[in-house]
Structure formats: C-alpha cells, structure tokens
C-alpha cells in the first residue's frame, strides 16, 4: 500500500490555508482566544506574496510602520506568533476538502497529508504559487527525482552537482547559497543580463571569478536525461555556433518564477466571483459553507481592497466568529493585549509592567 | 482635466473604447483594471509578472522599453516585437487614439 495512507493525521482547531501575512496574523488572534492553528502553504517558506514577490521592497502603509521591508514584516509576524506554536505543512498544496458529520473538516494536500480541523480559514491570496516550468517534454518523470522548481531544504544538495536555470533573484540567491553547499554549481540563463538586487548580482560575479559558480550565458537547457533520476542535462549555447553540451549533474533546478493560480480551492463548492471567494463582510468573512472562512486577498465583497491591513482586520473578526462556532455556549469578551498580556502555548508569558502604588513623601523642612 | 480615448481589444476580440485620464499618474494596466478588463496584474505594476502584457496595434511611438520591462519580456510567453507591459506605459496626451490588444494568458 501507499505509505501516504499511513501518515498520521494532523489535528488542530483552525486550519489556515495560506501562510501570507493574513494567515500568519490569524494565528496570533486565534492564540489570544486559546485556539490552535496549523498552516498549509504550497510554497517552501512562509510570507506569501511578501516573500515570494517582493521581499526586499519597502511597504509604507502598515499602520505604525512608516517603512518596513516586506521580508522584515514577515519575519516580525513569525516572531509575533511564535508563542502560539503554529504547525506548518509547507511545499504542499491543499487539494480536497471533506465535511464530516460533526461539522469538522478534513483537508488533504497534494502530497496526501491529511489535516483535521473544526474550522477552515482560507487565506490563499491570489492563489497557490505554481512554478513556471520549462517547456521540456517528459520533464514530469524527473520531478522530485533530482528535478525541483523550488528549494525546500538546501542540505539535500550537499556535495551534489547542481544546475540552476533562471535570470531573477531566486536563481541568483540560490546559486550564491549553494556555492558553499554543493560540490558544483552551474548557473544557466537565456540572456547575459540578470535582473536582481545589486548585491546579489555582484556576489554572483565574485563567485564566478573565484570558480565557485560556473556561469553559462546565453544558453538554454533543452533536455533532461537519466535512468529514473536526473543524471545529465543537454545545454545549447546561444552563440553563433549553437554549440551543444551535455552536463553531468545530480540536480536540475529551473527557477523561472511562480505564478499564482486559485487552483483546486475553486472546486470546493464555494461561491466564486472574479477569481475570488465571496464572503459575508457584514459579519465574519464566512463563505457560503458554514465553518469555512476566507480572509485576505482571496476574498471579495463590496468595496474590497487587497491590502495587508485589511487582511489583518478580516483575520481578527474571523477568529472571534470561529471561537463562537467552536464554543457556542461560552461567553467571551475581547481583552486588550495590554491588559491581559499574552500566554503562549509554550508556557511563555508576556505582560505589561505593573504600575506601583506608593506614597511619595512631602519635602522635609529641616 | 484631460482625457484621451484609447481602444483595448480583449482576449475574445471585443473592442472597448475607453476614456483614460492623463493627469492621474495612471498607466495602461491601471486603465484596464479601472474598466474591469481581465488583466490580473499579479505584481501590482512592478514589471514582474507580465500578466499586463499587450500588443500595440496602432502606430504610436511609445519609446524604448525600460530595463525592467525588457527583462520581464525576455522571460514571458507570447512575446512579439510590439509587446509592451501595460504597467510600464504611462498615459500621456501623445497616446490619444492608441489601440492595444491584450496578450493571451500564460
Ligand atoms: C509588488 C507588490 C507590492 C505590494 N505592496 C503592498 C503595499 O505597499 N501595501 C499593502 O498593503 N499591500 C501590498 N501588496 C499586496 C499584499 O502583498 C497582499 O495584500 C498580501 O500579501 C495578501 O496577503 P494574503 O495573506 O491574503 O495572501 P498572499 O500573500 O497572497 O498569501 C497567500 C498564500 O496562500 C498560498 N496558497 C494559496 N492557495 C493554496 C493552496 N490551495 N494550498 C496551499 N497554499 C495555498 C499561496 O502559496 C500564498 O503563499 C503588494 C503586492 C505586490 C505583489
Ligand atoms: S502588472 Fe505585473 S508586469 Fe505589469
């Protein structure tokens, strides 16, 4: 039998689909209500658009932050939610959902991981980021067998021969990183020009001079070969002679960027309008299926704005409603964090310093 | 306030003649979105996604592609000589009568 069937089921209160800023902040608001969260994301790292599309660019409209780099915002959010110990299933796409008799849900990912939760909060942004794949016939059979479109664990490439293709930030940054890990890094790009942060471009230049990276431009990978796994790639130099070259390698990593697709969530029976999920914005951002909420860029309602601060607000109201759904008989009033402090699930506690009550004596006249 | 008329041909071949303001610091991608034409603009106008790619049909001179635009168009699909990224085309009075066609989605 498939080993996937034997995998243990992950159980949580709120299952969040999407680790963008909205999904991350939902963990914090849920944590204040003592609800546990688990997050699924198709990407290898949390942060959604902020980390995937513009980590090194500034954002100017986060309340209270005159300027913050998108990557730093995500780092801060991760730090903020740490006490609430969210679980993560990364690099897997949420594929199917099943509603059980008791009103809870089972969500299964592309890799067969099952998650059982009372509440599902879809914070899927523009959709799950799917890699742009090079047009090479029969490429699928090498997927996860030396061929990868994103890097989850760089250690996999320790002492291996790696060929990276692409001309953007991720191709540059991973070439730099793997230069110290892999035994051989070859960077291939269709053009001679790269587009990325200046320091990345300069660093690659340095590593090429130091023979730590072999740079081949302009060139293209035309084919992948091997017996059950990647063993060689066929490269064509884009010079006059159109010279062909076979490169021996253990891994081929085309990094041509990622394009978001709403994907399987579109078939979950949710009301969809213009590629987004319709929700009740007068109350709690619930979808047409009770128990499933949609927050952040992925939802739509009259006047919707796709902004991070709007996602934060939606996440907050969603958690209140989720709490009521899980504990219909419990009364609850919102408490300010300044007043109530924060009790992490890890036993940590943060609280405001207490003021003291003490008499101040009058000036003594001698 | 000055508006110009531009024509946008959608992916079904339908022509939309729209008014575009020249004094609102808008670009062609934003004009498409303002009229709810099917332009995703995933990257929000940073020349990073090419979902705003269009073909310039009329013979307006839009000048050279900028570096970012050029680099993105090297990577995008369905690129032709008259391809431009809508988000990199500012709306100016010179574009009166412009005709563009949306490129296919990837
Ligand atoms: C270039 C750029 C600049 C921007 N500047 C600003 C700004 O200045 N201010 C501002 O407020 N906003 C800005 N935004 C918008 C902002 O980034 C988004 O509003 C925000 O990222 C939305 O957060 P989110 O968590 O809702 O979704 P996202 O950040 O899109 O995250 C969604 C996540 O869900 C995952 N996902 C989706 N479906 C699935 C599935 N089926 N299975 C697994 N995972 C899935 C995706 O992989 C993704 O990681 C900008 C966006 C861009 C592109
Ligand atoms: S909107 Fe993304 S490239 Fe123009």
Show me where the domains of chain B are located. 3-102
CA distance B17 to A86: 51
A195 to B71: CB separation less than 8 angstroms, yes or no: yes
- Looking at residues B82-92, what average pLDDT do you find? 96
- Higher pLDDT among residues B29 and A135, named by residue: B29
Residue partners of A359: CB distance under 8 A and separation at least 6: none
Q: What is the mean pLDDT of chain A?
A: 93
Whether residue A259 has pLDDT greater than 80: no
Count of other CB atoms within 10 angstroms of residue A159: 9
Whether A150 and A44 have beta carbons less than 8 Å apart is answered as yes
* Torsional class of B86: left (φ above 0), alpha (ψ -120 to 50), beta (otherwise): alpha
| Cβ contact A35:A322 at 8 Å | yes
**Dihedral sign from CA coordinates of A189, A192, A198, A202:** positive
Q: Is the pLDDT score of A304 beyond 50?
A: yes
Distance CA A54, CA A131 (A): 16
- What does the pLDDT read at residue A307? 97
Residue B75 pLDDT > 60: yes
Residues A91-120 have pLDDT tens digits of: 999 999 999 999 999 999 999 999 999 999
Which residue among B48, B71, B106 sits closest to A53, beta carbon to beta carbon?
B48
Please check the confidence at residue A3 and state whether its pLDDT lies above 60.
no
Using the Cβ of A65 and the Cβ atoms of chain B, whether some distance falls under 8 Å is answered with: no
Asked whether the beta carbons of A49 and A75 are under 8 A apart, the reply is: no
Question: Structural domains in chain A?
Answer: 10-129+259-350 (3.50.50.60), 133-256 (3.50.50.60)
Is the CB of B74 less than 8 angstroms away from the CB of A167? yes
CA A50 / ligand 1 centre spacing (Å): 6
How many other C-beta atoms lie within 10 A of the C-beta of residue A283?
11
Dihedral (CA of A301, A124, A67, B44) sign: negative
Residue A121: which of A49, A25, A213, A199 has the closest Cα? A25
For B30-63, give the DSSP string: HHHHHTT-S---TTSSSSSS-TTEEEE-S-----
CA angle A16, A19, A21 (to 5 degrees): 110
**Residue A365 CB partners (closer than 8 Å, separation 6+):** none
Partner residue facing B74 (CB), from A126, A132, A191: A191
C-alpha B40 – ligand 2 centre gap (Å): 8
Whether A271 and A278 have beta carbons less than 8 Å apart is answered as: yes
Q: How confident is the model at residue A365 (pLDDT cuts 50, 70, 90)?
A: confident
Let me know: does A61 contact A75? Beta carbons within 8 Å: no
Residue A366, CB-side half-sphere exposure with 13 Å CA sphere: 0
Tokens of A105: 């849900």
Give residue A2's pLDDT: 45
Reported in sequence order, the residue ranges of A249-328 that DSSP labels E, i.e. its strands, are: 251-254, 258-261, 272-273, 276-278, 292-294, 299-300
Tell me the per-residue pLDDT of A326-364, one tens digit each, with 9 for 90 and over: 999 988 888 899 988 999 999 999 998 888 888 898 888
Cα angle A19-B48-A62, degrees, rounded to a multiple of 5: 50
Greatest distance between any 2 Cα atoms in chain B:
38
User: Does residue A296 line the site of ligand 1, with CB under 6 A?
Assistant: yes
Residue A6 has pLDDT above 60, yes or no: no
How confident is the model over B10-18, as a mean pLDDT?
A: 95
pLDDT 10s digits, A204-258 = 999 999 999 999 999 999 999 999 999 999 999 998 889 999 999 999 999 988 7
Q: What is the mean pLDDT of residues A272-282?
A: 90
| Three-state SS at A85 | coil
The pTM of this model reads 0.83
Q: B24 falls in which pLDDT band (50, 70, 90)?
A: confident
* CB contact at 8 A, B85 and B73: yes
- Which range of A134-143, A147-156, A176-185 scores highest in mean pLDDT? It is A176-185
- Cα B103 versus chain centre, distance: 10
User: Residue A18: helix, strand or coil by DSSP?
Assistant: coil
pLDDT of A1 higher than 70:
no
- Return the pLDDT at A7: 63
pLDDT at A262: 81
The fold adopted by the segment(s) B3-102 is: Ubiquitin-like (UB roll) (3.10.20)
Chain B residues at the A interface, defined by Cβ less than 8 Å, are 40, 42-43, 46, 48-49, 67-68, 71-72, 74-75, 106
Q: What is the ipTM of this complex?
A: 0.76
Q: Percentage of chain A surpassing pLDDT 70? A: 98
Residue range A153-179: average pLDDT? Answer: 95
Q: Per residue in A41-94, pLDDT tens?
A: 999 999 999 998 888 899 999 999 999 999 999 999 999 999 999 999 999 999
Residues B71, B96 contacting (CB under 8 angstroms):
no
> For A180-190, how does the pLDDT look when each residue is reduced to its tens digit (9 = 90+)?
999 999 999 99
**E strand or H helix that includes residue A122:** strand A114-122
Average pLDDT over residues B68-95: 92
Q: Would you tell me the crossing angle of helices A70-81 and A21-32 to the nearest 10 degrees?
A: 20
- Rounded to the nearest angstrom, the distance between the alpha carbon of A306 and the centre of ligand 1 is 9
Instruction: Say whether B68 and A260 touch across the interface (CB within 8 A).
Output: no
For residue B68, what is the nearest residue in chain A, using CA coordinates?
Answer: A195
């Amino acid at each position: 039998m498939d080993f996937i069937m034997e995998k243990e089921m992950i159980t949580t209160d709120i299952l969040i689909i999407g680790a963008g800023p909205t999904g991350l902040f939902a963990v914090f608001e849920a944590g204040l209500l003592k609800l546990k969260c688990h997050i699924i994301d198709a990407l290898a790292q949390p942060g959604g658009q902020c980390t995937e599309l513009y980590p090194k660019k500034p954002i100017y409209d986060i309340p209270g932050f005159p300027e913050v780099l998108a990557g730093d915002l995500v780092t801060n959010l991760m730090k903020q939610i740490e006490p609430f110990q969210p679980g993560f299933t990364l690099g897997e796409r949420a594929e199917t959902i099943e509603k059980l008799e008791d009103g809870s849900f089972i969500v299964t990912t592309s890799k067969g991981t099952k998650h059982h939760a009372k509440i599902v909060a879809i914070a899927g942004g523009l959709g799950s980021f799917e890699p742009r794949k090079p047009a090479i016939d029969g490429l699928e059979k090498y997927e996860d067998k030396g061929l990868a479109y994103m890097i989850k664990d760089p250690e996999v490439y320790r002492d291996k021969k790696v060929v990276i293709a692409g001309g953007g930030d991720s191709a540059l940054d991973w070439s730099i990183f793997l230069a110290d890990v892999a035994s051989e890094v070859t960077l291939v790009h269709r053009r001679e020009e790269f587009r990325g942060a200046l320091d990345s471009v300069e660093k690659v230049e340095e590593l090429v001079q130091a023979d730590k990276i072999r740079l081949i431009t302009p060139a293209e990978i035309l084919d992948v070969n091997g017996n059950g796994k990647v063993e060689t790639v066929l490269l064509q130099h884009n010079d006059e002679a159109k010279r062909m070259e076979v490169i021996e390698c253990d891994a081929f990593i085309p990094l041509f960027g990622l394009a978001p697709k709403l994907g399987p969530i579109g078939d979950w029976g949710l009301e969809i309008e213009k590629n987004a999920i319709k929700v009740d914005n007068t109350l709690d951002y619930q979808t047409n299926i009770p128990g499933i909420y949609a927050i952040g860029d992925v939802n739509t309602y009259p006047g919707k704005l796709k902004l991070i601060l709007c996602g934060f607000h939606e996440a907050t109201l969603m958690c209140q409603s989720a709490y009521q759904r899980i504990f219909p008989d419990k009364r609850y009033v919102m408490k300010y964090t300044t007043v109530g402090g924060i009790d992490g699930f890890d036993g940590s506690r943060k609280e405001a310093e207490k003021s003291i009550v003490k008499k101040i004596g009058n000036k003594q006249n001698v | 306030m000055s508006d110009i008329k531009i024509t946008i041909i959608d992916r079904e071949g339908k022509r939309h003649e729209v008014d575009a303001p020249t004094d609102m610091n808008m670009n062609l991608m934003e004009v498409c979105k303002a009229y709810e034409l099917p332009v995703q603009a995933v990257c929000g106008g940073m020349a990073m996604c090419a979902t705003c790619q269009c073909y310039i049909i009329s013979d307006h001179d839009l000048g050279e592609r900028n570096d970012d635009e050029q680099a993105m168009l090297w990577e995008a699909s369905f690129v032709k000589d008259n391809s431009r990224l809508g988000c990199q085309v500012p709306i100016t009075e010179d574009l009166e009568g412009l005709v563009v066609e949306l490129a296919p989605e990837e």
